[in-house]
Structure 1
Amino acid sequence: MKSVSGIALTVLLAAAGMAQAQDFDLEALVAAAKAEPPTTVYAVTGKIVDTAEEFNAKYGLNVTGKKVNEAGQIDLLIREHEAGNVTGSVSLASDVAVIVTDLIGQGVVESWAPGDIAPHLAEGARDPLVVVSDPHVWAYNSELGETCPVSNVWQLVDPEWSHLVTMMDPLDKPMYADWFNQLGEHHDAAMAAAYEAHYGKPFEGNSATEAWVRAFANNGPLVADSSHVSDAIGAPGQAKPFFGMLSTAKFRDNEDKGYKLAICTGMQPFAGWLYPGLGVIAKDSPAPNTARLFIHYLLTAEGIAPQSVDGKVPGDPRIGLPAGEASGITAVLGEMMVWNTASSPSDLERRQDWQDLWMTELKR
């Protein structure tokens, strides 16, 4: 039962959320945007092109969607800021650690959440604003059976799985090195518990996560780009398919290519992790209202639909995922590691350490 003070606090927070929603005026934002020049939005997905066109059709504006990878977005945002010539007003799903630690901290970009939607977002997804999350899951080939052959990450360091596990390279995809850090900083006890569950004895050492990363790299995993990871796990007709980790967006290969990708549920300590797709606005944008309106659009079911169909989880939990989403991630969300953006400075500071460990220990 809540205390009187707890009830009062809940009422105050609810009232604050209502006031914030009442202060937000979508019609005024649209009107202000119409007075601004054309602008560009950057995202890691090519679907941003169609999203921008649909946004333009809805609001009568002129926004260009441009696919740019994580590192490219950071470079563009910094160079445009330093040159005083900002053309990219919105950045979506770039490098979380760099965005939070460097770009927001140095005033290159800012986070903004619309008042009518912010109260519905998870507390940790409001500042910085998480527009969408990209699930990276442990997956297997279901052609040989409906049950996942792995139930614990420590199995992946045993001889049985030597050279039979695949994922993207932490040296090319820093989010994977940051994932190691998130595990080590927030979930090392869970990694140690998984060790004891697998080996029947307590973990002895300073960091179960570091020990696992070292042993995993030593077991010869196949590192590749996302397409080759999907091929290695999901392609039909394999006598001994790979097990591995990939984004749920690749589960569209099940329909497009006849693949047999399936999420490994019941995995200790997690079935995967949710990488936050931050939506930030360039601080010196000549079209700040257009940028805010675009952020608002991405937080709606209509605006995020092109991504949610690929298993990207909308920031607003009221939206959910479409029934036809290929991976079935909705049923597994409770088993996923939730990313802690407050640890971004540590993720960035320790990124090179994790990459060095990986590079040193990796056996081909």
Structure 2
Amino acid sequence: MNKYKYLISILALTLGLGAAQAEDFNLDALIAAARSEPPLTVYDSTGKITEMADAFAAKYGLQATGTKTKATAQLETIIREVQSGNVQTDVSFIADVPAAMGQLLPDGFAESWVPPDLVEDIAPEARDPLLIVSSPNILAYNTAIFDSCPITNIWQLTEPEWKGKVSMQDPLGKPSYTDWFNQMRSHADDRIAAAYEAQYGKKLETEHASATEAFVAALAANGPLLTDSDSAAAEAVAAPGQTEPFVGLVSAAKFRDNEGAAFTLGLCADVDPIIGFSNATVGLIVKGTDSPNAARLFMHYAMTAEGIAPQAEDGKVSSNRSVALPDDEPSGVADHLGEVLAYDPSTGMSDWETRQDWQDFWRLNYAR
């Protein structure tokens, strides 16, 4: 690119135009524009954001602060700051796509931006809004008790053998679980029905409106052990000295406790029709930020292997398909991503609008 085009790119970026609106996207121009802006503030629900922000600042010669903050707090903060005209948050990584789609994007509190030079590597379903990573929540078993996963079909979790022996976070307190229910009904209901037929040799006959609802009702009625954290769910499965034969639904990140806390978690592979689900994190730039170019640069950085490395170590999967999980990622989920129900934001608004319905449905069917 000649110097005139380079100056045009800087001007367009400095005026607050998206890089995709410039004549050509130029990373060097974006970096130059970012360096003229105030320090960047980034929030995420994982503590790894501190490491990411520090590495970003060192790489580009900028100032950036990463802070761990729950999704609900981020949502409230962004709305309050934009409404008051006192925006302090520049970039927000929110591990609650439906809430972001239902509360922030429609009213213009924040915007999604996809790096133009990386767009072809980003899965189409992860571009609008931009999903930074997906966090697999996968079925796990205790390798000290079982030689292999003791189930081969998710409908087995509804059988008497597993009554009270499935650990998972409480759907009444963890929206990603009600989102999972709705995602199954929206995108995998036929597979849930087929898995029932494969397990029992007959077609599913149910009073419920979908196979997913029948499964969720049966799971709830089987009295799973409900926890307030992934850590507690993983502990029930594979803490040292555990003798109860639990199966659990836990984050891939918990598998690092196999080394750190002497857990014995094993991934349940080849369970029909899925081994779990992914909870996605959406990346947003806050309306009114005084560092729009630094914000875009951070989004670009997070979509690279270098930028997302601290989260990839925990089994979080980049939406950039050219970025692989590290070979030593402890869960081994990289070899089984096709068995995980990937989050599809095309029904994100439905996930948002039906949360209360699914919570009520779970409450009505849950039996201790």
Counterpart residue number, 1:174: 175
State how far apart, in whole Å, the 1-side matches of 2:87 and 2:59 are. 24
Counterpart residue number, 1:105: 106
Counterpart residue number, 1:232: 236
State how far apart, in whole Å, the 1-side matches of 2:244 and 2:64 are. 47
Counterpart residue number, 1:311: 315
Counterpart residue number, 1:284: 288
What is the CA-CA distance between 1:136 and the residue it aligns to?
A: 0.7
Name whichever of 148-157 and 200-209 sits farther off. 200-209
State how far apart, in whole Å, the 2-side matches of 1:94 and 1:334 are. 21
Contact persistence 2:74–2:94 (CA under 8 A)? no
Matched, 1:347 2:316: no
State how far apart, in whole Å, the 2-side matches of 1:196 and 1:67 are. 44
1:208 to 208, 211, 219: 211
Question: Per-residue displacement from partner, 1:98-148 (whole Å, max 9, x unpaired)?
Answer: 112331111111110111111111111111111111011111111123311
Amino acid at match of 1:311: G
Partner secondary structure for residue 90 of structure 2: strand
- In structure 2, relative to structure 1, the CA distance for the partners of 1:94 and 1:79 (3 Å cut) is farther
State how far apart, in whole Å, the 1-side matches of 2:64 and 2:139 are. 37
Partner secondary structure for residue 144 of structure 1: coil
Counterpart residue number, 2:135: 134
State how far apart, in whole Å, the 2-side matches of 1:354 and 1:342 are. 19
State how far apart, in whole Å, the 2-side matches of 1:268 and 1:22 are. 49
Partner secondary structure for residue 281 of structure 1: strand
Counterpart residue number, 2:221: 218
State how far apart, in whole Å, the 1-side matches of 2:267 and 2:142 are. 9
State how far apart, in whole Å, the 2-side matches of 1:21 and 1:235 are. 54
Question: Per-residue displacement from partner, 1:156-203 (whole Å, max 9, x unpaired)?
Answer: 111100110011111111011011001112211111111111122101
Contact persistence 1:141–1:233 (CA under 8 A)? yes
Partner secondary structure for residue 23 of structure 1: coil
Amino acid at match of 2:219: F
- In structure 2, relative to structure 1, the CA distance for the partners of 1:316 and 1:131 (3 Å cut) is same
Amino acid at match of 2:248: G
What is the CA-CA distance between 1:340 and the residue it aligns to?
A: 1.2
1:252 to 248, 256, 259: 256
Give the structure-1-normalised TM-score.
Answer: 0.92
Amino acid at match of 1:253: D
Contact persistence 2:95–2:279 (CA under 8 A)? no
State how far apart, in whole Å, the 1-side matches of 2:337 and 2:103 are. 30
Q: How many residues align?
A: 346
State how far apart, in whole Å, the 2-side matches of 1:330 and 1:278 are. 21
Identity across aligned pairs (percent)? 49
C-alpha RMSD over aligned residues:
1.5
What is the CA-CA distance between 1:21 and the residue it aligns to?
A: 11
1:273 to 273, 277, 286: 277
Question: Per-residue displacement from partner, 1:190-222 (whole Å, max 9, x unpaired)?
Answer: 111111111221012321111111111111111
Amino acid at match of 1:248: A
Counterpart residue number, 2:82: 81
State how far apart, in whole Å, the 1-side matches of 2:22 and 2:235 are. 46
Give the structure-2-normalised TM-score.
Answer: 0.91
Counterpart residue number, 2:3: none
Amino acid at match of 2:24: D
Ranges in structure 2 where 5+ consecutive residues have no aligned partner = 1-19
Amino acid at match of 2:271: M
What is the CA-CA distance between 1:284 and the residue it aligns to?
A: 1.4
